[in-house]
A and B are shown apart, each in its own frame.
Chain A
Amino acid sequence: MTARKHQLAMVMDLNKCLGCHTCTVACKTLWSNGEGMDYMWFNTVNTMPGRGTPRDWEAMGGGFDARGNARPGRLPRRQEYGEAWKFNHDELYHGGNGDSRHLEIKGGTPEWGPNWDEDEGAGKFPNSYHFYLPRICNHCTHAACQAACPRQAIEKRESDGIVTVNEDRCRGYRFCQSACPYKKIYFNHQKKVAQKCIFCFPRIDEGVAPACARQCPGRLRFVGYRDDQNAPIYKLVDKWKVALPLHPEYGTEPNVFYVPPIGPASYGADGDIDESRPRVPDEYLVSLFGPKVLDALATVKAERERKRITGKSELMDLLIAYEWKSMFGGLDRDPSTVSVIQWTKKR
């Protein structure tokens, strides 16, 4: 850790994600419904294995190599995100057309969208598999977006490490977008500035957890300061070591961590369940979360077993999240008790 006082972080338990997109919609409604933001989804949930959002983002470069040098990256194209589709709602609801019309996308037939390959996954029946991967900006400790900006328009808050764009300084050069290996910083083509997830800092400042976390019906998003030893983040990341960053090899030191999905066992050729062969291949998880994922999986499995047998496991009790509010590291104030939460100049 740097000299920064604290670092906010999030842990998402991929064993619990339903792929319901409540998080995405909570975020969209709150932050990215303004001018030029149609195509932006600060929060995305993609089916894995899959091509992700923007399409094939893992092949777009950016971040740092093992020696800390900037890796070349490229800008995602609008078609790779998928344009925001427009529907014929007017014709349907106000046109007096009765049943003669059905819901249609206006304009050309789209060829891609943010969840185009939803629920496809991989593997052959009966051993097909998939899981959901929600993603936000990782509010990286070594933020590639910030390092790339020639104008120092990207700031990392001293108090909590939230990474924001200062839109007054941004001149739309877009080096941040090529440099972010997670492709989680967007360009507003109308306002000609970069925009991104703000970890709901106006809520944080009022003691309220980010909307994606608070509204998640799956109770899989933990929030809090990395160094708060009594809170779930520290316990999951540092104590139990079951939560890992996505693509640690990108070199940005993300502050969003994932508990890897265990998934069911495979069926053998005889149709019996073969406990020795996991449905989600280990190699695939290693390709996402690095080699440490194997230890994390083993720990979660062992603790599941302990919980089953003894009824007691600190780790499983944490992951089950019996007490919803205990997931937010003290940032559990009810947003309805706060008068204004707004998008301020620094977003």
Chain B
Amino acid sequence: MKAQYIRGASLDVLLDPDAAAWRSVKSATLPLSGTPSALQPTAAVRTEFPEGSIGAIKQVSVAIAHNGGELAFRLEWSDASAESGAGGQDDVGFPDAAAILLPVRPGAPLMTMGAPGQPVNAWYWRADENGTGRQVTAQGLGTTETIDRESVKCRGIHRQSEWAVVIARHLRVKGNQQVAQIDVGTGTAFSIAIWEGGHRERAGIKSFALGALEGWHPLTLNRSS
């Protein structure tokens, strides 16, 4: 996919899922697959989520834009109920959530969430922390680590049985080897994960966008409109 260059669009504008700027950006509908049960790290998780039961959200509409400094993903998917899970009122629910996954360096494996020495970087949004995103890194299943809660910005709106969520970050962040540094002109690759809180989806229990490039979707960025 291509990240559309929008000259002069502020981060605030990009973060608004309803902003007029997004209307000029072409979106694509990506099919989502559930993660395999067999890949879940413990027997208790595999027992609770047998093969075929994972991945409640089947597709997501994606639009990608950048302003030369920041990269934003606008996701839209249907979900009849907004699950905000925790936040003090929670009982046994889990929040709806979404993440953009990026390889830190080319070749990082997607299916295993990276590998030792080959980290992947997630920009993570969850409904109960709407606004604050988490910058996450992983080098294999079960190794995710939140690095900071500042650099990833997001905003989600739920209406008419649909989530519209924008997740954004600066193309480059200072001095961190564990996260993706993106350059205009070079491009990268991405995947998307969505957790349906109403189906108790959390951790490795999620749907994700499987692309043609060893699982990744190629992403190009340039400065032409």
Residues of A whose CB lies within 8 Å of any CB of B are 36, 69-73, 75-79, 144, 147-152, 171-175, 178-179, 189-190, 192
**Is there a chain A Cβ closer than 8 Å to B20's Cβ?**
no
Least CB distance, A101 to chain B, in whole angstroms: 29
Residue in B closest to A192 when the chains form the complex, CB atoms: B86
B44–A144 contact, CB under 8 A? yes
Most-contacted residue by chain A among B87, B91, B141 (CB, 10 A)? B91
Q: Report B's interface with A, CB cutoff 8 A.
A: 40-48, 86-92, 94, 141-144, 202-204
Known pairs A150-B141, A151-B142 / 9 extra A-B pairs, C-beta < 8 Å: A70-B42, A70-B43, A73-B44, A75-B92, A147-B42, A150-B40, A152-B142, A178-B48, A190-B88
What is the CA–CA distance of A192 and B149 in the complex, to the nearest angstrom?
A: 15
Q: Known: A77-B91, A150-B142, A189-B90. Contact between A70 and B203, CB under 8 A?
A: no
Determine whether the beta carbon of A150 is less than 8 Å from that of B42: yes
27 contacts between A and B (CB under 8 A): A69-B47, A70-B43, A70-B44, A72-B47, A72-B48, A73-B44, A77-B91, A77-B92, A144-B44, A147-B43, A148-B42, A149-B42, A150-B42, A150-B142, A150-B204, A151-B142, A151-B143, A151-B144, A151-B203, A152-B142, A171-B203, A174-B94, A189-B86, A189-B87, A189-B88, A190-B88, A192-B86
Residues of B within 8 A of A72 (CB): 47-48
> Which of A36, A69, A76, A148 makes the CB contact (< 8 A) with B45?
A148
Smallest CB separation, A124 vs chain B (Å): 37
Q: Which residues of A sit under 8 angstroms from B42, Cβ to Cβ?
A: 70, 147-150, 175
- Which chain B residue shows the least CB distance to A189? B90
**A79, B90: Cα distance in complex, Å:** 12
Q: A238 to nearest B CB, angstroms?
A: 30
Residues of chain A within 8 A (CB-CB) of B87 are: 189
Nearest first, the 4 A-B pairs at minimum CB distance are A148-B44, A70-B43, A75-B92, A150-B41
A144 to B47 Cα, complex, angstroms: 13
Contacts A150-B40, A150-B42 known; A175 to B48 CB distance under 8 Å?
Answer: yes
Q: How long is the Cα–Cα vector from A323 to B89 in the complex, in angstroms? A: 48
Interface contact B47-A70, CB-CB below 8 Å: yes
CB <8 Å contact, B44 and A178: yes
Q: How far is the CA of A261 from the CA of B70 in the complex (A)?
A: 68
**In the complex, which residues of chain B have a beta carbon less than 8 angstroms from the beta carbon of A190?**
88
B209 to A: closest C-beta gap in Å? 22
Q: Which residues of A have CB within 8 Å of B203? A: 150-151, 171, 173, 175
In the complex, the answer to whether B86 meets A150 with C-beta atoms within 8 Å is: no
- Please report the C-alpha to C-alpha distance between residue A148 and residue B88 in the assembled complex, in whole angstroms: 24
Residues of the A chain whose Cβ atoms lie less than 8 Å from the Cβ of B41: 150
Chain B residues with Cβ under 8 A from A192's Cβ? 86
Contacts of A152 in B (CB 8 A): 142
> From B144, which residue of chain A is reached at the shortest CB distance?
A171
